[in-house]
Amino acid sequence: MVSRLRVPAVLVVAAFMLAAPPNMATAQDRQPPSSLAQLEYSFAPIVKRVAPAVVNVYAQHIVENQNPFLADPFFRQFFGNVPSRQVERSLGSGVIVDPSGLVVTNFHVIRGASQVKVALADKREFDADIVLKDQRSDLAVLRIKGAHERFPTLEFGDSDKLQVGDVVLAIGDPFGVGQTVTHGIVSALARTQVGTSDYQFFIQTDAAINPGNSGGALVDMSGRLVGINSAIASSSGGSEGIGFAIPANLVRVVVASAEAGNKAVKRPWFGAKLQQVTPDIADSLGLKVPTGALVASVTAGSPAARAGVKAGDLLVSVDGVAVEDPNAFDYRFATKPLDGTAQIGLIRQGRQMVVTVALEPLPETPRDEVEIHSSSPFRGATVANLSPALADELRLDPQAEGVVITAVAEGSTAQSIGFRPGDIVVSVNDHKIERSADLERIADSGSRSWRITIRRGNQQISVMFSG
């Protein structure tokens, strides 16, 4: 079982930090210890230097009490008036990555939070604003409010240079017992099937990680940030030597978007659907082993299409770095800087080729986001015009068109009917819905009967209402 590492009502400091003592081997010159003296090196100076850049993140959530018995006067006479809303508090960790007070943490730590606080290593507490949330990578960026100082930071390392066997340290507050330092090695790279992020390319480590470490830092032997801890694999709920961290090179992309003032992460858009290469597909392509990412379809007008990528192509590398599967390709391409180009190696009908793909963000068009207030099945729903950029945010098909529900108010008519964020409104009362203004106008028509068709995932659902 893969578990995220947020811990309710527990003080959490989750960061892993180290710096190389004098004469210790560099990341480029890895060597096993050759003497007892080398084994007696202490990580204490490293921890002391980097710990101030690790913070606790306190998130406060308002939870609606959905128990139907609480509305029944008969039960209230026994249990009293139980509040319909309750405050739930949880704690995670974060890492200061900019001296102005920019903090990176996990998205799941602050999901749905109405208030966020940050506690420094010196026990001072500050309110924090959520600058950017990116569910796709399970990352979020906060900014400390009301501070007029330069904060200690962790420098980014190059997570692509990590090798299996490299030593890493973890500093955190597992289970709220107090700051704890653990060390271990990188157990594996490019782990998939973790299930906490769309980008399945995790660093696996055996450094003891437990609930409470979400948003903490994994650092290399130079004291650089190489990952943000996100999940553990555990049957007991505690550390069993299998922890997962989001690579720092992906974290860097999210932080850069926040620093640029964006409300959403700007990533390069490739514009093709990819599929896994199975042993049968590999055999049909004449491959000795199943590797690479097979192009299933290409979006018209996308960077991939303009570069000449075609359905049936086998993508095998990004800027000379081999990719073993679609997850590896997505990660390698998503971590490229915008406004440049990437050299994509591919195989087409047995012939090796290299094409140049522009690194462009997903196209954005005016969203014209509106909340429906009129008496209709959509009352309480917020809708917007779909664009490839919005589709990416909502994890929808980038080729989808029309009007999408982006939010549903608690207790609203739309919620009671069962509409969800991500539902695409296809038609209402036999009128095709192409713009949010179309839906707003029809919802305000005063009709007493409704024929609604929506698309949810791969399903098209038609419903009727009257009255």
8 A C-beta contact, residue 87 and residue 19: no
296 φ/ψ angles, rounded to the nearest 5 degrees: -90, -40
Same domain, 14 and 142: yes
C-alpha to C-alpha distance for 246 and 136, rounded to whole angstroms: 12
Same domain, 285 and 415: no
**128-134 average pLDDT score:** 93
Q: Is residue 33 part of a domain?
A: no
Q: Could you give the percent of the chain with pLDDT greater than 90?
A: 44
Q: How many CB atoms lie within 10 A of CB 410?
A: 10
**83 pLDDT exceeds 70?**
no
**25 pLDDT exceeds 70?**
no
Domain CATH for 346: 2.30.42.10
Looking at residue 389, what is its pLDDT?
83
Q: Is residue 182 part of a domain?
A: yes
Looking at residue 38, what is its pLDDT?
64
Where residue 274 falls among pLDDT bands split at 50, 70, 90?
very high
Same domain, 124 and 232: yes
**423 pLDDT exceeds 90?**
yes
Same domain, 92 and 196: yes
Query: Please, is 236 exposed, middle or buried when counting C-beta atoms within 10 Å of its C-beta (0-12, 13-18, 19+)?
Result: exposed
Domain-ending residue, one of 204, 236, 265: 265
Computed over every residue of the chain, the mean pLDDT equals: 83
Where residue 22 falls among pLDDT bands split at 50, 70, 90?
very low
pLDDT digit string (tens) for 310-337? 999 999 999 999 999 999 999 999 999 9
Same domain, 208 and 102: yes
Same domain, 232 and 294: no
Q: b/e for 58-92, b at 16 or more Cβ within 10 A?
A: bbebeeeeeeeeeeeeeeeeeeeeeeeeeeeebbb
Looking at residue 150, what is its pLDDT?
95
Where residue 303 falls among pLDDT bands split at 50, 70, 90?
very high
8 A C-beta contact, residue 160 and residue 189: no
- Residue 319 gets which letter from DSSP? T
Same domain, 84 and 199: yes
Q: Is residue 16 part of a domain?
A: yes
Q: What's the first-to-final CA gap in the chain, in angstroms?
A: 47
8 A C-beta contact, residue 421 and residue 450: no
pLDDT digit string (tens) for 37-49? 766 678 888 888 8
pLDDT digit string (tens) for 182-231? 788 999 888 776 766 777 888 999 887 777 688 888 999 889 999 998 88
214 catalytically annotated: yes
444 catalytically annotated: no
Catalytic choice (90, 197, 214, 387): 214
373 catalytically annotated: no
Q: Is residue 450 part of a domain?
A: yes
Q: How is residue 165 written in tokens?
A: 């066997």
**344 pLDDT exceeds 90?**
yes
Looking at residue 81, what is its pLDDT?
58
The DSSP bridge partners found for residue 408 are 381
Where residue 445 falls among pLDDT bands split at 50, 70, 90?
confident
Domain-ending residue, one of 265, 286, 301: 265
Q: Is residue 35 part of a domain?
A: no
**90-108 average pLDDT score:** 91
Same domain, 334 and 384: no
Looking at residue 391, what is its pLDDT?
84
Same domain, 99 and 190: yes
Same domain, 353 and 415: no
Domain around 316? 272-358
Same domain, 447 and 412: yes
Domain CATH for 153: 2.40.10.120
Q: Is residue 30 part of a domain?
A: no
Q: Is residue 307 part of a domain?
A: yes
Catalytic choice (90, 93, 108, 159): 108
Residue owning tokens 């195989």: 347
Nearest to residue 246, comparing CAs of 204, 184, 209, 183?
A: 204
Domain-ending residue, one of 245, 265, 285: 265
**Residue of higher predicted confidence among 253 and 446:** 253
Count of domains for the chain: 3
C-alpha to C-alpha distance for 104 and 298, rounded to whole angstroms: 34
Same domain, 257 and 276: no
Q: Is residue 405 part of a domain?
A: yes
- Residue 69 gets which letter from DSSP? G
